[in-house]
Structure 1
Amino acid sequence: MSSLENVFYIQAGLGVLANMFLLFFYTFIILGNRPKPMDLISCQLTFIHIMMILTEGDNLLANILESLKSGNDIKCKTTFYINRVMRSLSICITCLLSVVQAVTISPSTSFLAKFKHKVKTHINYVFFCLWTLNLSFSSRLIFFVAGFMNVSETHQMKVTKSCSFFSMNYIFRGLTFLVTMSRDIFLVGVMLTTSTYMVIILCRHQRQCKHLHSIRHLRASPEKRATQTILLLVVFFVVIYWVDFIISFTSVLLWIYDPVFLTVQKFVMFVYPTVTPLVQISSDKRIISILKKLHSNCH
């Protein structure tokens, strides 16, 4: 298991470094120019992914809190709460990324075109609402997470090496599950709908460009590259989300602590926030040009 833990730490380190690079890049863009909505959303998503990696299981933030001599109960509540908030925000912000890109590339004759100018003026209000809702909704978890006390206790389920999750009232657990599932199904549905819409727009654009013998212009389109990147991220997110959901649902439903389940879930949770920045870095021409300049300066 120690070798597998080393793989996780390498994966987490790569994810944090890639996301930190992106966070500095987007912060520089936001402070230096008039930022585009997509830059603001990507900056938020990058920060969320950093926090997700740092708070997943017995990870870096937990070790920092432990070094500060904070109680195990405080450590568990803090890391578990932040991680759940970030996981909820991840699906919300990824959905927002997909919606805003669909609005951005929509033709001037479409229904979505009238929302283009509203996106720029209302994006900060959307961020405020998403953060407020997720911070509030996940606050209930503080009362059901604590430092692991006794393996023989049947009313608690071990979720990390030192943290446990206490069983909820069946009605409360059912309502929470129903609300969470309804939200996630809605957001995934929106992502798939906007992704389908973007594919239709790209295919239509492809046919028009073939008709006009201007394939070179289509290939050079920054909007097309950005759309393809977001489509890839959305599809990847949906796959990872459902794998994680099946693992989480099975463990909660059976109310069992299975190290194999937790190990697989930890690996799955690290995949999306680690792969996402690498995809964004490799597809953003602004970043590629900066890296090329740095490489030429070094030589």
Structure 2
Amino acid sequence: MSFHTDALRSQGELSLKTIFLLQVGTGALANAILFFHNISPILLGHKKKTKAIIVTHMAVANLLVLFSSGTIHTMATSVLRKPLPSLGCKFVYYIHRVARSSSLCSTCVLSTYQLVTLIPRTVNWMMFRGRAPKFIGLPCCTCWIFSVLMNIYIPVMVIAPNSLGNDSDTQGKWFCSVSSLSEVTVILWSFPDAVFIGLMVWSSGSIVLLLQRHHQRVQYIHTLTGFHRCPPETRAAHTVLLLVVTFVIFYMMNSVFTFYITVFSDFHLWLLQTSNVLVSCFPTVSPFLLLLRNPRTPRICS
């Protein structure tokens, strides 16, 4: 019975590792395509588009999330054949936290900007929209600076895998960990993320209300033709809503696993691998949503 249980656990852990490696490879390729798709018009001197600037920052943050989360385990087990040293753990974990915070902040900026584009146009709004590409770089750069400063304490709290003292699961020695956190530290750690998620939920809710009003105004078009072509702002709003919902779902699921691992110091391999898979879900899925639902592609919606 024990042998059968160990075999099932090994198969499950191997499946999680395979899924994780496929996520890193597929997500990295998709984000690289998304990055060059949005940066190439800017490099060629074409008119800058505000959304392209935001998406470029998001793609870079997603790439760093995927590479940093993949490096911790893959490089240690496959290349180094030994756990990462303390300095390597601190560096990789810090990059991971900064990139994840920047990805969250960039998604928040994108959802907020999309809400602004749906607001009824006035003269002042048209003047702002013309200058938006010049100013949108400031909040994007602020996201990176904010993430760097807010996570500056992370290297001090990260400990090497061989310091885990985990005898119940020897494979857990490959993973870095964070030392015990006080309640105040956990609250301070989670507060910025809670603020960004709150802004995303608020902007998404406002987008839904604006789209509902727009739908009511054009209801007669549905009655006459049965369908209508979605304007670019509406298609982009649908994409942003999908991004926000996807991010919030995976973020909450990963937060549950992270909270359990941190509070109960449970470093079983399947918990760590599941947490890594959930962290990599949004950076893997988001570029496909942005590429396949590109507003520049003509689409018919009902």
Q: How does the TM-score come out when normalised to structure 1? A: 0.82
| Runs of at least 5 residues in structure 2 that lack an aligned partner in the other structure | 1-12
What whole-Å deviation, never above 9, does each CA across 1:67-121 have from its counterpart, x for those lacking one? 6x99722321121110011111111111111000000111126998886456433
Q: For the residues of structure 2 that align with 1:196 and 1:3, how far apart are their CA atoms?
A: 37
- Given the alignment, which residue of 106, 109, 112 partners 1:96? 109
CA distance in 2, matches of 1:211, 1:287: 25
- Counterparts of 2:50 and 2:74, CA distance in 1: 30
**Higher RCO structure (Cα 8 Å, ≥6 apart):** 2
Deviation of the 1:182 alpha carbon: 2.3
Correspondence for 2:196: 187
Please point out which of 15, 34, 37 is paired with 2:27. Answer: 15
**Normalization by structure 2: what TM-score?**
0.81
Aligned partner (choices 57, 64, 73) of residue 86 of structure 2: 73
Which of 285, 288, 300 is residue 275 of structure 1 equivalent to?
Answer: 285
The one of 30, 34, 46 aligned to 2:59: 46
Identity %: 26
1:248 aligns with 2:258: yes
C-alpha distance in structure 1 between counterparts of 2:133 and 2:218, whole Å: 29
User: CA 1:146–1:250 in structure 2 vs 1: closer, same or farther (change >3 Å)?
Assistant: closer
User: Helix, strand or coil: the match of 1:34?
Assistant: coil
Distance, in Å, in 2 between the alignment partners of 1:159 and 1:194 is: 40
Shift in Å, 1:160: 6.4
Select 1:204's aligned residue among 210, 213, 222.
Answer: 213
Q: Give 3-state SS (helix, strand or coil) of 1:139's partner.
A: coil
Give the counterpart letter for 2:269 in structure 1. Answer: P
Q: Which of 222, 235, 238 pairs up with 2:232?
A: 222
Question: Which of 165, 176, 180 is residue 167 of structure 1 equivalent to?
Answer: 180
Q: 1:246 to 1:259 in 2, by over 3 A?
A: same
Structure 1 gap ranges (5+) = 290-299
Residue in 2 that maps onto 1:237: 247
Question: For this pair of structures, how many residues does the alignment match?
Answer: 281
1:176 maps to 185
Q: Residues 260 and 153 of structure 1: is their aligned pair in 2 closer, same or farther, counting only changes over 3 Å?
A: closer
Deviations 1:214-242 (A, max 9, x none): 87895241111111011011011111111
Match of 2:7 in 1: none
- Does the 8 A contact of 1:100 with 1:119 survive in 2? no
CA distance in 2, matches of 1:50, 1:35: 23
What is the root-mean-square deviation in Å for CA atoms of aligned residues?
Answer: 3.3
Counterpart residue identity of residue 268, structure 2? D
Task: Tell me how far apart the structure 2 counterparts of residues 241 and 38 of structure 1 sit (CA, whole Å).
Answer: 23
CA shift, 1:258, in A, is: 2.2
Q: Which residue is 2:154 aligned to? A: 141
